[in-house]
Amino acid sequence: MDCVVLLPVLHNVGMQKEIRAALLFGLVVWVYQATNPPPPKICGTPGGPPVTAPRIKLRDGRYLAYKEHGVSRETAKYKIIYVHGFASMRHNTMSVEKLSPEVVEELGFHLVSFDRPGYGESDPHPKRTPESIALDIEELADHLEFGSRFYVMGFSMGGQVVWGCLKYIPHRLAGAALIAPVVNYWWPGFPANLSTEAYYLQLPQDQWTLRVAHHAPWLTYWWNTQKWFPASAVAARKPEVFSRQDLELLSMVTDGRMNMPQTMQQGKFETIHRDMMVGFGKWEFDPMDLENPFPDNEGTVHLWQGDEDKMVPVSLQRYIAQRLPWINYHEISGSGHMFPYIPEICEAIIKALLLEKN
């Protein structure tokens, strides 16, 4: 073959190698960006948001921000730690702040809400687990001198956190309330047909969001930031995820929308994305294997659920209540996920926790 004819062929081979190298480099860059979210902007550090809330320093050096409500710590008969939900923070406490002063004085409770790690002004915890957040709560109670026993309440994703308290610090609890607690569809205690049926009640985009969080957590950041497919409808607060009653109540929870910039000011990855990975990942225990933390009736555990909740399926809560007969199960007819924002129901939840005995 003539040398002049070979030159274009050799040139094309070289070009193909360059193209392949460029494509490979682009793929490596994409994978790195997809699996490595930007670092959080930690409060109180250069370039980070300011610190405005009281905070405690935990044993591992992280800071936890909190807010106090109710009667003073010194005069309180009951001391409660409240755990906020998904895409929320210490300012969001259902309708606690709307209770009348007379009710608060009558019950005599002191309630502390706190920013879960990464939210608001609490430092992120990249190794967060159901156990670590329970131990954070115990440390917060000790710092505030709550005594040997205290109450815990949690709403939605915060309700799921209460399961960790029942597992890891039951000896510190005087009582517990799980309020529309988020369920993990992969808890082994659920019958496969029941959890599968409940799982498919979600919007397809939420099904995929949870699949990624459970099976490929390293892709959670990418999935929730990519633009090709719709990601979490719950995170986007799409109207489809709310019940009829929820939509009516949304005007009562404008505080959540007003606080949204501060809620995730340190970054979405260590807040809502971390919540997805922890809440729907592989747990070290199954809540349905838990034993009664109050065998001598020295306290009570309550589970509250709306029967029209589109975010947390009532069928799975009914099954949990059946498996754990020591739980006091309260099902609110005609209610969705936001029923705790009705002041009368919020008051009933607190009264049941503090005053009811088995």
Q: What are 120-145's pLDDT values in tens digits? A: 999 999 999 999 999 999 999 999 99
* Count of beta carbons in the 10 Å neighbourhood of residue 218: 12
Q: Which of 303, 314, 287, 289 is nearest to 340 (CA)?
A: 303
204-218, 237-251, 273-287, range with the lowest pLDDT: 237-251
% of the chain surpassing 90 pLDDT: 85
Burial class (CB within 10 angstroms; exposed 0-12, middle 13-18, buried 19+) of 314: middle
The upper half-sphere exposure of residue 30, i.e. CA atoms within 13 Å in the direction of its Cβ, equals 8
- Copy the structure tokens of residue 159: 């309700």
Give the Cα separation of 220 and 182 in Å (integer): 18
Is the pLDDT assigned to residue 27 strictly greater than 50? no
Please give the order of strands across the beta sheet that includes 327-332: 55-57, 63-70, 109-114, 78-83, 150-155, 173-179, 301-306, 327-332
What are the tens digits of pLDDT across the range 227-250?
Answer: 999 999 999 999 999 999 999 998
- Give the model's confidence band at 357: pLDDT under 50 very low, under 70 low, under 90 confident, else very high: confident
What are the tens digits of pLDDT across the range 75-88?
Answer: 999 999 999 999 99
| Residues 124, 129, 134, 138, Cα dihedral to 10° | -50
pLDDT score at 10: 46
Burial class (CB within 10 angstroms; exposed 0-12, middle 13-18, buried 19+) of 69: middle
Q: Which residues contact 338 (CB under 8 A, 6 or more apart)?
A: 242, 245, 246, 249, 250, 253
Is the pLDDT assigned to residue 3 strictly greater than 60? no
pLDDT score at 261: 83
State residue 322 phi and psi, 5-degree precision: -70, -40
State the pairing for strand pair 327-332/301-306. Answer: parallel
State the pairing for strand pair 150-155/63-70. Answer: unpaired
Q: Tell me the sheet residues that pair with 106.
A: none
Is the pLDDT assigned to residue 148 strictly greater than 90? yes
Is the pLDDT assigned to residue 161 strictly greater than 90? yes
pLDDT score at 250: 86
- Helix, coil or strand: residue 273: helix
21-50: b (≥16 Cβ within 10 Å) or e: eeeeeeeeeeeeeeeebeebebbeeeeebe
- Give the model's confidence band at 255: pLDDT under 50 very low, under 70 low, under 90 confident, else very high: low
Q: Which of 220, 131, 119, 207 is nearest to 169 (CA)?
A: 131
Which amino acid belongs to residue 156? S
Q: Tell me the sheet residues that pair with 327.
A: 301
What are the tens digits of pLDDT across the range 30-71?
Answer: 565 667 899 999 999 999 999 999 999 999 999 999 999 999
Is the pLDDT assigned to residue 7 strictly greater than 90? no
What are the tens digits of pLDDT across the range 291-322?
Answer: 999 999 999 999 999 999 999 999 999 999 99
% of the chain surpassing 70 pLDDT: 88
Cα Dmax for the chain: 101
How far, CA to CA in Å, does 129 sit from each of 160, 161, 231? Answer: 12, 9, 23
pTM, two decimals, is 0.90
